[in-house]
Chain A
Amino acid sequence: MTAQMFFIGFFGISAIWFGVVVFRTFSMVRSALALLFSQTALGAMFLAMQAEFLGVLQIMMMATEMSIMAIFMVMFMMDPGGMGTMDMTHQKRLSLWAGFVSFVGGVAIAVFVDWGPIAAIAPDAAQQTIDLGLEILGRSMLIFEMAGLTILTAMIAATAISIPELKGKQQ
Chain B
Amino acid sequence: MSIELILALTTGAALFGVGIYGALSQTNLVMIMMGVELILAGAMVNLVAFWRFLHPDTAAGQMFVLIVMTVMAIEMAVGFGVAIARFRSRGSVEMEEAVELKG
Contacts and interface: CB of A to CB of B under 8 A. Distances in A.
B4 interface: yes
24 contacts: A23-B35, A28-B31, A35-B38, A49-B4, A65-B72, A65-B76, A69-B34, A76-B87, A77-B30, A88-B31, A91-B25, A95-B22, A103-B17, A106-B9, A107-B9, A110-B10, A115-B1, A119-B53, A119-B55, A132-B59, A154-B78, A157-B78, A159-B81, A162-B85
Contacts of A81: none
Interface in A43-64: 45-46, 49-51, 53-54, 57-58, 61
B98 interface: no
Contacts of B5: 110, 115, 118
Given A119-B53, A157-B81, 14 more contacts: A16-B18, A45-B45, A49-B8, A51-B65, A72-B83, A76-B83, A88-B26, A96-B21, A98-B20, A103-B17, A110-B5, A128-B59, A140-B63, A154-B73
A99 B55 contact: no
A16 B11 contact: yes
Interface of A: 2, 4-5, 8-9, 12-13, 15-16, 19-20, 22-23, 28, 31-32, 35, 38-39, 42, 45-46, 49-51, 53-54, 57-58, 61, 65, 68-69, 72-73, 75-78, 88-92, 94-96, 98-100, 102-103, 105-107, 109-111, 115-116, 118-119, 121-123, 128, 131-132, 134-136, 139-140, 143-144, 147, 150-151, 154-155, 157-162, 164
